[in-house]
A and B are shown apart, each in its own frame.
Chain A
Amino acid sequence: MVNETLMGDEAIALAAVHAGLSGAFAYPGTPATEIMEYLQELAARVAAGTMPGEQFVAQWCLNEKTAYEDALGASFAGRRTLVSMKHVGLNVAADPFVNSGLVKVNGGLVLVVADDPGMHSSQDEQDSRWLADFARVPCFEPANQQEAYDMTRQAFDLSEKYETPVMIRITTRLAHSRSVVSLQPARAMNPIKKPAPGMDWILMPAVARRRWKLVLERQRKLEDLSSGFACNTYTKGDKKLGVITCGLALQYYLENLDDYQVQRGQAPTHLHIGFYPMPTDRIRELYANCDQILVIEEGYPLVERLLRGIIQPGKKIMGKETGEIPYDGELSPDTVRAALGLSPHQGLAVKELIPPGRPPQLCVGCPHADSYNALKEALLGYPLHAVTSDIGCYTLGALPPFNAIETTVDMGASIGMARGASEVGLIPVVAVIGDSTFYHSGLSNLIDVVSHNTDVTVLILDNDTTGMTGAQPTILPSSRLEPVLKGIGVAPEHIRVIRAHKNEHDKNVAVIKEELAFKGPSVVVLVRECLEAIKKARKA
């Protein structure tokens, strides 16, 4: 048996290849980015002949929705496919994801979603398991790197057997931690084989009604499967406490188990959940056998809420809703220790000297800094104005020394919010967005701006990369941006392409001022390559 040290993200990527992957699709987003990065590295090894196997495709896409739809097409073709994204990316892909629950999946279709509890690099800590439940799509939640590998392989089998997409839900800590994984032999890809004749991929109402009934039947079968599934383990112990752990939460529980046994004489009765839908029979068994229940899960209280619909009320159920586990943030060995009623560990005391976290910053010499300096000066003549912005390194323009932007909500929102504010009278309004985010979701908002001739000045900070996630290539090169803007109808004289550099500061201020004064749609493209991207290219 071969062993390899892998990050959670890498274990999933390698497992997909070993499961006979033909095509993988993604948009970068922490903590999921390294799945596609590793897939591309593996694909390059196959191309170079240093890794055995057939050549598979591993591509960055415009956004998570297009990536998911690419995966649907690959499944339609009978091939195995993986699509990966961060949790908020699944909001963008929610339309294809939820509806894909109703089609008769052909080649194995596995969606990996990496949630970010604690919001290390995200705007919220939503829990993707709720979307799996909502779409009636089965979901694996691995507890370590080995399970990430094993469950990814199982997910492809389950997807083909039950003709459903399968979600794998991981969180930051698993995505970005490493341990040794033992690997299984690779298998061949599926041949191209279209679905059997029928209407199982045409979700018009008559078909969708039939498919939905089948999905609901399938859900009952999956619930039965879940109760007996090896991923969901039941361990008898002390009846005073029944503990339910989910995914990675298992590790924090195990970290404290020895101490618990020493202090209480016996381990709790324990149900671990690594696969959903909920193992209803097992949950009823645990509830019947224990005096009270503690639910330890990373994210939102999904199991804690759902189990109340499975059991008869009466016994005490503890978790996030009742405060034993903190509702927000990541779990830790210490929060779980407290929930188990064990005395806290202590290290050296924190000194008063320590200010709160060190805020991240733009790199020294970053073109965004020059863009913000020019924008701030251009806006000096407008006591009332607004600057909306977006998601990327330039979000750091919200912090000192810039304090240059006022909003960051979701990918592409800068242009839509600027348009809405302008239409109701807040003028001038500037939308600041990066090139990758512009293509991801900003372009459609800009079409609204153009079609309504809204008075908005858009600043596209074009650094020719997706910087924040580690400099992945933008879906189109810089050279295509101007033709795209012209093509949707931005007046050519109000497309101003300038170089984001401090040497051009005065000129850039003048250009932005001119476009602020113009009553209509204008786009200023501030061009200079990301320093990280230059460094990365040098290394390669």
Chain B
Amino acid sequence: MKYDIVLCGVGGQGGISVSVVIARAAMAEGLKVKQSEVHGMSQRGGEVLAHLRLADKEPASPTIPLGGADLIISFEPLETLRYLPWLNAKTGLVISATKPLINMTGYPDLAKLQAELEALPNKLLFDADAVAREAGNVKAANIVLVGAASRSLPLKEESLKTAIRELFGRKGEAVVAANLKAFDYGRTANS
């Protein structure tokens, strides 16, 4: 078994927490995990990329080969397109937030961007911010995406929830509950 995930977005969107939650859940289920992040300058509003590799034997490369990803989880629609070359062209799934973050010049036409996303073969597109707001925690769009991904990840729902409890535990019960709710809302989010 091997399951490769590309996580992408813009600095400050909480991508690293998503990586941590999925990695912990995978390890709790006995899988081997390799997790690669880029820190530093990229965090300042630039694009952020993490590679997460789950397998029953230790993955070799810290990064995923082109065409190798089973799943892209994206916080931002332009970033989704940027990393498509890493997605398995036949079976790869894209789970992407649809709200653009326009902090740059030359951001593409939104209608064209939307059309490109709609044309993807396997996809789940939704406004993760709106779902997070519905769930009562605007900051939890990242965990909403984990919830959405939980329908496809080769991991048990409960393992992911346990990882969320562990990650947010020291911030108190209210924060844990809010993130679990965001997870549940994401799990049932429609495209």
Contact = CB atoms under 8 A, between A and B. Distances in A.
Contact of A346 (B33, B63, B67, B105): B67
A400 B11 CA distance: 18
Contacts of B33: 5, 178-180
B175 interface: no
Interface residues of B, number: 55
B41 A360 contact: yes
Interface in A149-179: 172-174, 176-179
B44 A334 contact: no
A334 B42 contact: no
B64 interface: yes
A349 B84 contact: yes
A394 to B, nearest CB: 11
Interface string B26-51: 01000011111111111111110001
B10 interface: yes
A174 B43 CA distance: 18
A347 B36 contact: no
B40 A30 contact: yes
Nearest to A362: B44
A361 B62 contact: no
Contacts of B109: 353
A177 B105 contact: no
B52 to A, nearest CB: 10
A30 B38 CA distance: 10
Contacts of A333: 61, 63-66, 68
Given A30-B41, A361-B45, A177 B112 contact: no
Contacts of A337: 65
A355 interface: yes
Given A179-B33, A360-B45, A5 B62 contact: no
A2 B145 CA distance: 33
Contacts of A30: 39-41
Contacts of B85: 346-350
Contacts of A95: none
Given A5-B33, A30-B39, A120-B38, A361 B44 contact: yes
B69 interface: yes
B39 A31 contact: yes
30 contacts: A5-B23, A34-B39, A120-B40, A120-B41, A121-B40, A121-B41, A178-B23, A178-B34, A178-B37, A251-B62, A252-B60, A254-B60, A333-B63, A333-B64, A334-B66, A344-B66, A347-B86, A347-B92, A348-B92, A350-B84, A351-B116, A353-B108, A353-B109, A357-B47, A358-B78, A360-B42, A360-B46, A361-B44, A393-B44, A468-B44
Interface of B: 10-11, 23, 27, 32-47, 51, 58-69, 78-79, 81-82, 84-89, 92, 103-109, 112-113, 116, 120
Interface of A: 5, 30-31, 33-34, 120-121, 172-174, 176-180, 248, 250-252, 254-255, 332-334, 337, 344-351, 353-355, 357-363, 393, 396, 400, 468-470
